[in-house]
Amino acid sequence: MKIDKQHLLNYSILIPYLILSVVGLIMIYSTTSALQVQNGRNPFQLLLSQAGYWVLSLIAIAIIYRMKLSFLRRPGLIYVTLIVNGFLLVISHFFEAVNGAHGWIRLGPKGIIGLQPAEYLKLLIIWYLAHQFAKIQGDIHKYDYQALTKGRWIPDKLNDWRVVSLLSLGLVASLPDLGNAVIVALIMMIMITSSGIGYRWFSTALIGLVSVSALLLGSIRVLGVEVVAKIPLFGYIARRFAAYFNPFENATESGLQLTNSYYAMSNGGWFGLGLGNSIEKNGYLPEAHTDFAFSIVIEELGFFGASLILGLLFFLMLRIIVVGIRARSPFNAMMSFGVAGMLLVQTFVNIGGIAGLIPATGVTFPFISQGGNSLLIISIGIAFVLNIDASEKRELIQEEIERTMV
């Protein structure tokens, strides 16, 4: 008896995804329309662009959901996709820099089609590491972390997962794209932790990461951001550190974004100024529709409105984690944990940046920020999880039917 997957769709994941996508479209119009009118452009231009990516995302979800998981686990498909994305990361160096980073590939008339390979790497590295670690689950249970290193701290083969991962991370950092490099590194840590190794390794890595970050920030604080500015390609990072340490001292230059982000959140208060009534989006807060979109959400919808959006986003993450916990296949479990981790890391890195808890990284807020590539890759991740959940349910039902027929 064949069971159709369309009857096993997880609506506790799909419905929050749809709601967040629609809320995102509303906020994108709110954050972009005023300036578009001031610049003599179509107020719906960026909204229509994002809506186009959302339609493409829905098509991708429908296609991926109906695929067999065995096809999505084919090594050839994973490796080819990863290699193509690596090639695109290299090619992006030859395109015009945006906010100091060569992260975009512009195609078509007037660069109407934009590809951001670093965004796609987030999901690709989850896909790749889930495949690699799923193959050696028996060894991991027996030898713990040594199974991942094969007894060698220094890899001896180019196709070692450590070489592939660090090379991918290096390509993103070379753009230079600090925000996405940080997210990719954190995703790698999540994937290694979810591979089945002992938790003491995660604790050690986390302590090491926090220590190195504190040492780095402390050194820059003592020596001055000029030290970072002298490093080739990383001058823009120095400006972000200057804004992080003293945003109000550089309120008209490097601290412009962060100070106006503070003003926006202060304006919002508990209940906000009302949808569309933001002051800061009218030319005061640069990147109000991308990196600092959530600041405008707080200004217009207030603490309560922003909390509802965050609550729905965290509910979506929890439902994805539940799929991973229930999964019997190691690959399925790690894919689910990776997608949830990607959303979690991106959310916290963005909020940390707009609140001044960490240096601004240029990372978009999931669903809310204007960014078609970000929405598409999140949607593909959601499609993977929906497929995994339905496939796992179908296997359980078929096994139960076979047992009852015996």
Structure tokens at 158: 């180019």
State the Cα–Cα distance between residues 398 and 4, nearest whole angstrom: 11
pLDDT the model gives residue 34 = 78
Q: Is the entire prediction scored with pTM above 0.75?
A: yes
Q: Mean pLDDT lowest for which of 4-13, 29-38, 246-255, 266-275?
A: 246-255
What is the pLDDT at residue 253?
63
Residue 308, CA distances (Å) to 128, 163, 184, 305 in order: 34, 41, 27, 5
3 state SS of 309: helix
Confidence band for 216, pLDDT divided at 50, 70 and 90:
low
Determine which of 108-122, 146-160, 206-220, 290-304 has the lowest per-residue pLDDT on average.
206-220
49-60 pLDDT per residue, tens: 899 999 999 999
Q: How do residues 133-181 score in pLDDT, each as one tens digit?
A: 998 888 888 877 777 877 777 877 777 888 888 899 888 888 878 788 8
The pair of structure tokens assigned to 352 is 């940390």
In the predicted structure, residue 45 carries a pLDDT above the cut 70: yes
- Best-predicted range by mean pLDDT (97-111, 188-202, 367-381): 367-381
Give 225's pLDDT tier (boundaries 50, 70, 90).
Answer: low
More confident residue, 363 or 224: 363
Among 138-152, 220-234, 340-354, the least confident range: 220-234
DSSP secondary structure string, 150-210?
TT-SS--STTSHHHHHHHHHHHHHTTT-HHHHHHHHHHHHHHHHTTT--HHHHHHHHHHHH
Asked if the model's pLDDT at residue 43 lies above 80, the reply is yes
Please check the confidence at residue 196 and state whether its pLDDT lies above 60. yes
> What ranges do the domains of the chain cover?
1-66+255-406, 67-223
Please identify which residue in the block is written with the tokens 């019997």: 328
β partners of residue 114: 106
* Confidence label for 2 from pLDDT (cuts 50, 70 and 90): low
> Mind listing the pLDDT tens digit for each residue in 254-312?
667 788 888 888 888 888 898 888 888 887 777 778 888 898 999 999 999 999 999 99
Higher pLDDT, 205 or 90: 90
9-18, 202-211, 335-344: range with lowest mean pLDDT: 202-211
Strand extents, DSSP E, 57-177 = 105-107, 113-115
> What pLDDT was estimated at residue 1?
57
The DSSP symbol for 101 reads B
Instruction: Specify the pLDDT at position 228.
Output: 55
Split at pLDDT 50, 70, 90, the class of 243 is: low
Please say if the pLDDT value at position 238 is more than 70: no
Q: What is the predicted pLDDT for the residue at 319?
A: 97
Higher-scoring residue by pLDDT: 3, 67? 67
